[in-house]
Amino acid sequence: MTMETEGENHTVKALNLLRTRICGTTFIFKDSPDSNYSKLKFMISSSVAEACNNSILLLGPRGSGKIAVLDLVIQDLLIQFPDSISVVRLSGLLHSDDISAFKEIARQLCMEHQLLFSKAASSDDNSQFMVAVLKECGLAHKTVIFILDEFDLFAQGKQRLLYSLLDAMQSVSSQAVVLGISCRLDADQLLEKRVRSRFSHRKLLFLPPSVEDSQRLLVHMLTLPIDSSLPSDYAVEFNRKVQNIIDDRRFKEIFDKYLSYDSSVKHLLRFLYCAVSHMDLQIGFLSRENFETAFSSIQRQPKLECLRNCSILELYILVCMKRLEVKEQNLCNFNTVMKEYKIIHDSFQTSDYYARNVCLRAFEHLIHRELICFTDNRGHSLSAEFRPVKLLISSAELHQGLKAYQSCPAILQKLIEREV
């Protein structure tokens, strides 16, 4: 093997390592003890050790690492108490109706305790089975941890699942922890009175990290280990380059700008992922340009992109619709747009005047691009010409888009500007 391919081998290895770190959710929270991590671990481990019931809500915006932290805690606890914990995981997206929720609980409990799961069991059987297992587990001093992801979705409807779970926990013999995870900060307000009174109102709030913390996380994620299969001089050089990038003022500007949109951990990881993927394997080190391209490829302006794709005729139709909107004609459809199009043509003698069927196709293109949409959802009783439509683009965006459009006819810009 030549030196070159060997060098490339390192970089591929390093790249794979970084990508695995970014895609796996737990690494970012490892070695950086989160205060929530220790709190949560204390709460669960004490209720396991003292054999009592508990219910906790983990709240925070999407992508703030609620599940990742919980997974770390559960991992630790499974090592700490290998025989006295069993975990049941539910997701509100999948099990928000009672029937499938009870079924899934029964299935997971059966798997856990090597019992035979019957698919044909009724929902009632399943719920009774759950209560029975909880009782048995309590007698055996075994804690069942219920993890309810998307907790707010379980609070829709009659909340039978939540009620029967929490009600079963009221008895002395049972021993269970219910962990609700939700993005809605008012998740506990959604509960019915009978459920809320059985819920111990512990809440853990997960907040996005500050800019300094984000930067610390960035270093943590991108630093290569010196004592691994990678050659140490390569790793040292790599880490030095990363540090150089982070110290660069221009990088800081981009980084701050990116986090100002959304500073959650998941959002940060997306940015790192893009930057790392753009790393040049030939060079083998990250550069500031990688982060710049990542920034521009993630932060997109879909409406302006869409405008850039439009043909001139499509722009005409958009401008006509905008004019109608300014005239406060609150309902417009293809026919009224065509009328306006004709007025414009008559008064300015534009070179772009096409037949009706051509315009109709351009109109349909705009609907496919989702720059305009039908206001009624009733659908197909009328042909497209008659259905009322509305613009999905603001006049500022249209204005900006027309300016950026290279071969935009001057008349269109004038038509828009007159009103602005």
Partner 1 sequence: MDKEEEAPQIPRRTTRSLYSSSASTSNIVPAAKVSNLEALTINDLLVGGDPISLDDITSSFPGRSSQIHEVVRLLGPLNSPLLPLFVYGGASTGKTSIILQIFRHLKRPLVYSSCRTCYNQRILFESVLNQLLLHRKNMANSYTNAKRCERPSDFVNFLREALTGIVNNLKEKSEKLISEKKTHDGGMGNMIYLVFDNFHLVREWDKSSTILPLLFNLYDMLKIPEVSLIFISSTSPDTFYSNMGYVEPIPIYFPDYTEGDIRQILLRNQANQKLYSSFLDVALKPFCRITRQVGELATALKPLYEQYCEPLSDKGKGVLPSEDMKRRLFNHIKPHIASSLNDVFKVSSPSSREVETSKETKLKGNPKRSEEIADLDFHMSTSAKYLLISAFLASRNPATLDASLFDSKGGSDNRKRKRKASEKALEKKELLEEELLMKGPGTFPLERLIAIFQCIVSVADEPSDEDEQNNEELGAQCGNGSLMSDVLLQLSTLCNANFIFKGKSCPIEGSTRYRSTISENMALKQVARSLKFPLSKYLYRS
- Which residues of this chain interact with partner 1, rule CB under 8 A? 12, 15-16, 19-20, 22-25, 62-63, 67, 91, 93-96, 100, 103-104, 107, 183, 266-267, 269-270, 273-274, 277-278, 281, 297-298, 300, 302-303, 305-306, 308-313, 331, 333, 335-336, 339, 352, 354-355, 357-358, 361-362, 365, 368-370, 380-383, 385-386, 388
Q: Measured between alpha carbons, how far is 288 from 296 in angstroms, rounded to an integer?
A: 13
Q: Smallest distance from the beta carbon of 92 to partner 1, in angstroms?
A: 10
User: CB of 95: closest distance to partner 1 in angstroms?
Assistant: 6
Q: Is 329 helix (H, G, I), strand (E, B) or coil?
A: coil
Measured distance CA(364)–CA(10) in Å, rounded: 52
> Least Å distance between CB 61 and partner 1?
9
Closest distance to partner 1 from the beta carbon of 276 (Å): 9
Residue with smaller CB distance to partner 1, 2 or 35: 2
Nearer to partner 1, 77 or 313 (CB): 313
Sequence-distant (6+) residues with CB within 8 A of 175 are: 51, 52, 53, 134, 137, 138, 141, 142, 143, 144
Angle between helices 334-348 and 312-326 (to 10 degrees): 100
Nearer to partner 1, 48 or 101 (CB): 101
The full length of the chain comes to 420
Radius of gyration of the chain from its Cα atoms, rounded to whole angstroms: 29
Shortest separation between residue 185's beta carbon and partner 1, angstroms: 13
- Inter-residue contact 415 to 342 (CB < 8 Å): no
284: left (phi over 0), alpha (psi -120 to 50) or beta: left
Q: What is the DSSP letter of 269?
A: H
Based on CB atoms, which residue is closest to partner 1, 139 or 358? 358
Residue number, 35 or 383, with CB nearest to partner 1: 383
Q: Would you say 61 or 138 has its CB closer to partner 1?
A: 61
As measured in angstroms, the least distance from the Cβ of 105 to partner 1 is: 11
φ, ψ for residue 379, nearest 5 deg: 90, -125
Name the residue nearer to partner 1 (CB basis): 115 or 382. Answer: 382
Angle made by CA atoms 318, 321, 322, in degrees to the nearest 5: 85
